[in-house]
């Protein structure tokens, strides 16, 4: 490989050709500050517009300063990252940014986690010499996302994620000059656009311009209300990330502490979404088996591939972009939805209260789940199955608000009867997990044999698109694909449209690496090692479970016996399956 020798801050360094000054400096332990520059390495998320100009450095012989993030190293380059000229320019650029920023840090949802705030602290900003006009945009609320464009610093990370990674394009730079800002086109609100509410824009926003709708107040209110009972469920990916909010290393598994914390906060019933993930496998698996059998018997009308439908952003995506293909995804509700439907019927009956008196709350790594809660079809008589959903970050705030010493909290168990789960359920939290869980059950049901090995390594990994052929002896060589990122999902949809999709079964997750990097998770600030640690932790949690297959979950077996009958029964269909709508026209830009 060609290498380049150069000098940075009076030290010689040799780097491969094509390395940026920023990367070269980084490997020498020189940390040049950045803002717009962003990359979640290996996870397809990146943004290199070279727009904020915070990372400018002085290069000998160059007329102006060079942005370190996008300037490639050249032979014999002499770079000064900390010359007075570079520092003055960097500071001035930062002051300019702050001169059009609300600077209301104390009330900001990003307080303490804001990259602009820490940069201002590092650069020792004590006053902003440039006074002048301030941007004034209305703050927008949607079911999932709060958009405060006044805080936008035009880093364009959200735009890159929305366009390049998700292929949605709900937000982008509008206006020019001083009023330029990232927003939906034509002054629309997000709810009027084709936004799928994946919330990855929030996950990458360096400031508080994009944040989740906060429901912590509702939680405290309902817990304090003596007239209602509260039941909470916790999604798989939450347990491998929440610890980060309390200073634990990424990948810490805090399942028991979460159960204990939720009880300490005061929820009456602390259940587990993992339980309903197992239920999902029963329903989705049964549906899949039915479709495979029809397909194998030559049924021309059967929709193959069957696609997963757990991810709410993905559901929004096909309703808005590919409604004509909406019969391909499984009709099975998401685990959150199945849990909600069960808790408001079976469990409310069991404790003898009307569904309206049982407040069902979910803790999710996701902001699109907030939107899912508001879907009319996921409820009965105007009463939602899940009253509201809070994110991992909101849970962390609740724990802190309730004065709980999370780090020293003794572990507890989830309540019964909706608290027991298997290893197949916890892997729902990563890309490939739903596929693997389904394969563990479907293969055993289709062959009638016990699997010699439950691990389907073929579908694991962190590549955006993975495909595998899974032999199901005597039945089918099952061609499967696992994708994350809606751009990749779009590719599969286009294949289906063109009639050349080679797969039988496809799993789609919107977020990078699956729910472990959902938009409701603790901020990673571009550190991919955090995602990898969560990924590893999920599989560790799976290995540590005594039961690894959904159909072996005793509480699942009993709910079918007691309530649903069998997978795919009429009652199951009524409560555990849903329908999808054509929302394309509604969001046509021309409208």
Partner 1 sequence: MAVKMHILVCGGTGCSASASHEVVTELNKELVAHDLTDFAKVVVTGCFGFCERGPIVKIIPDNTFYTRVQPSDAKEIIEEHIIKGRKVQRLLYVAPDTNQSVSDSKHMEFYKKQLRIALRNCGFIDPENIEESIARDGYAALGKCLTEMTPAQVIEEIKKSGLRGRGGAGFPTGLKWEIASKSRVGEQKYVVCNADEGDPGAFMDRSLLEGDPHSILEAMAICGYCIGASKGLIYIRAEYPLAIHRLQVAIKQAEEYGLLGKDILGTGFDFEIELRYGAGAFVCGEETALIHSMEGKRGEPTFKPPFPAQSGYLEKPTNVNNVETYANIPVIINKGADWFSSIGTEKSKGTKVFALAGKINNVGLIEVPMGITLREIIYEIGGGIRGGKKFKAVQTGGPSGGCLTEKHLDTPIDYDSLVAAGSMMGSGGMIVMDEDDCMVAIAKFYLGFTVDESCGKCTPCRVGNKRLLEILTKITDGKGTMQDLDELKNLSNVIKDTALCGLGQTSPNPVLSTINNFWDEYVEHVTEKKCRAGQCKALKKYYIDPEKCKGCTACARACPVGAITGTLKNPHTIDQDKCIKCGTCYEKCRFGAISIK
Query: According to the binding rule CB under 8 A, does residue 115 interact with partner 1?
Result: no
Q: Shortest approach of partner 1 to residue 422 CB, angstroms? A: 48
Query: According to the binding rule CB under 8 A, does residue 172 interact with partner 1?
Result: yes
In the bound state with partner 1, the residue whose beta carbon lies nearer, of 86 and 289, is 86
The answer to whether 157 and 36 are in contact (CB under 8 A) is yes
In the bound state with partner 1, the residue whose beta carbon lies nearer, of 51 and 384, is 51
> Order of strands, edge to edge, in the sheet holding 3-8?
11-16, 3-8, 78-80, 56-59, 66-67
Q: Shortest approach of partner 1 to residue 187 CB, angstroms? A: 16
Q: How many CB atoms lie within 10 A of CB 341?
A: 25
The answer to whether 128 and 95 are in contact (CB under 8 A) is yes
Choice from 7, 99, 118, 167 touching partner 1 (CB under 8 A):
99
How many chain residues are in contact with partner 1, going by CB under 8 A?
Answer: 39
In the bound state with partner 1, the residue whose beta carbon lies nearer, of 134 and 529, is 134
Q: What share of the chain is helix, strand, coil (3-state, %, to 5)?
A: 40, 15, 45
In the bound state with partner 1, the residue whose beta carbon lies nearer, of 53 and 110, is 53
Query: According to the binding rule CB under 8 A, does residue 206 interact with partner 1?
Result: no
The answer to whether 529 and 516 are in contact (CB under 8 A) is no
Q: Is the dihedral of CA 462, 468, 471, 476 positive or negative?
A: positive
Is 342 buried (19+), middle (13-18) or exposed (0-12) by CB count in 10 A? buried
- Ranges of H-type helices in 410-527: 423-426, 433-447, 486-498
Angle between helices 312-321 and 486-498 (to 10 degrees): 40
Choice from 45, 56, 79, 486 touching partner 1 (CB under 8 A):
56
Choice from 4, 21, 24, 93 touching partner 1 (CB under 8 A):
93
Q: Shortest approach of partner 1 to residue 583 CB, angstroms? A: 25
C-alpha 261/C-alpha 507 separation (Å) is 32
Q: How many CB atoms lie within 10 A of CB 354?
A: 10
Query: According to the binding rule CB under 8 A, does residue 164 interact with partner 1?
Result: no
Q: How many Cα atoms occupy the beta-carbon half-sphere of 490 within 13 Å?
A: 13
Query: According to the binding rule CB under 8 A, does residue 154 interact with partner 1?
Result: yes
Annotated active-site positions, please?
Answer: 284, 287, 310, 330, 369, 372, 377, 515
In the bound state with partner 1, the residue whose beta carbon lies nearer, of 51 and 522, is 51
> Contacts with partner 1 in 60-89 (CB under 8 A)?
64-65, 67, 70-72, 85, 88-89
Choice from 7, 23, 28, 50 touching partner 1 (CB under 8 A):
50
C-alpha 336/C-alpha 276 separation (Å) is 7
Choice from 2, 127, 133, 227 touching partner 1 (CB under 8 A):
133
Residues at the site binding partner 1, with contacts judged by CB under 8 A: 49-54, 56, 64-65, 67, 70-72, 85, 88-89, 92-93, 96-97, 99-100, 129-133, 153-154, 156, 172-173, 175-181
């Amino acid at each position: 490989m060609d290498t380049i020798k150069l000098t940075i801050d009076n030290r010689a360094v040799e780097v491969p050709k094509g390395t940026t000054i920023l990367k070269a400096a980084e490997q020498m332990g020189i940390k040049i500050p950045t803002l717009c520059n962003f990359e979640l390495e290996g996870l397809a998320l990146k943004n290199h517009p070279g727009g904020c100009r915070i990372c400018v450095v002085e290069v000998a012989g160059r007329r102006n300063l060079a942005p370190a993030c996008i300037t490639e190293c050249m032979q014999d380059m002499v770079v000064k990252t900390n010359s007075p000229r570079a520092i003055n320019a960097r500071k001035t650029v930062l002051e300019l940014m702050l001169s059009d920023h609300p600077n209301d840090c104390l009330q900001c949802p990003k307080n303490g986690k804001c990259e602009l705030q820490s940069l201002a602290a590092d650069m020792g900003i004590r006053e902003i010499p440039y006074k002048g006009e301030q941007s004034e945009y209305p703050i927008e609320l949607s079911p999932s996302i709060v958009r405060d464009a006044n805080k936008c610093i035009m880093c364009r990370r959200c735009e890159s994620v929305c366009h390049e990674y998700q292929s949605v394009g709900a937000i982008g730079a509008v206006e020019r000059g001083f009023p330029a800002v990232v927003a939906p086109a034509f002054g629309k609100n997000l709810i009027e656009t084709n936004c799928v509410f994946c919330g990855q824009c929030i996950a990458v926003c360096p400031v508080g311009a994009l944040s989740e709708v906060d429901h912590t107040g509702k939680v405290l209110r309902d817990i304090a209300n003596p007239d209602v009972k509260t039941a909470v469920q916790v999604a798989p990916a939450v347990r491998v990330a929440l610890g980060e909010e309390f200073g634990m290393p990424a990948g810490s598994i805090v399942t028991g502490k979460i159960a204990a914390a939720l009880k300490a906060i005061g929820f009456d019933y602390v259940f587990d979404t993992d339980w309903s993930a197992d239920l999902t496998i029963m329903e989705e698996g049964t549906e899949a088996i039915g479709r495979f059998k029809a397909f194998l018997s030559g049924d021309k009308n059967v929709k193959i591939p069957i696609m997963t439908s757990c991810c709410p952003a993905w559901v929004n995506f096909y309703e808005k972009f590919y409604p004509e293909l909406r019969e391909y995804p499984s009709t099975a509700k998401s685990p959150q939805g199945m849990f909600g439907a069960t808790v408001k019927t079976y469990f409310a009956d069991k404790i003898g209260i009307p569904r309206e008196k049982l407040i069902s709350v979910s803790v999710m790594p996701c902001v699109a789940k907030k939107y899912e809660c508001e879907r009319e079809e996921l409820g009965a008589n105007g009463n939602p199955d899940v009253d509201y959903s809070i994110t991992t970050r909101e849970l962390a705030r609740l724990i802190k608000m309730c004065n709980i010493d999370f780090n020293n909290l003794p572990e507890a168990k989830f309540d019964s009867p909706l608290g027991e789960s298997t290893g197949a359920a916890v892997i729902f939290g990563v890309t490939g997990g739903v596929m693997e869980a389904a394969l563990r059950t479907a293969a055993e049901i289709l062959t009638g044999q016990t699997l010699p090995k439950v691990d389907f390594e073929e579908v694991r990994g962190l590549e955006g698109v993975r495909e595998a052929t899974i032999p199901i002896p005597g039945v089918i060589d099952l061609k499967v694909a696992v994708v994350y990122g809606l751009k990749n999902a779009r590719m599969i949809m286009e294949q289906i449209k063109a009639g050349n999709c080679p797969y039988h079964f496809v799993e789609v997750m919107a977020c990078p690496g699956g729910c472990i990097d959902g938009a409701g998770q603790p901020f990673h600030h571009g550190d991919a090692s955090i995602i990898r640690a969560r990924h590893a932790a999920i599989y560790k949690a799976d290995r540590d479970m005594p039961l690894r297959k959904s159909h072996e979950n005793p509480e699942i077996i009993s709910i079918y016996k007691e309530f649903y009958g069998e997978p795919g029964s009429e009652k199951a269909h009524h409560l555990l399956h849903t329908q999808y709508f054509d929302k394309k026209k509604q969001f046509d830009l021309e409208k």
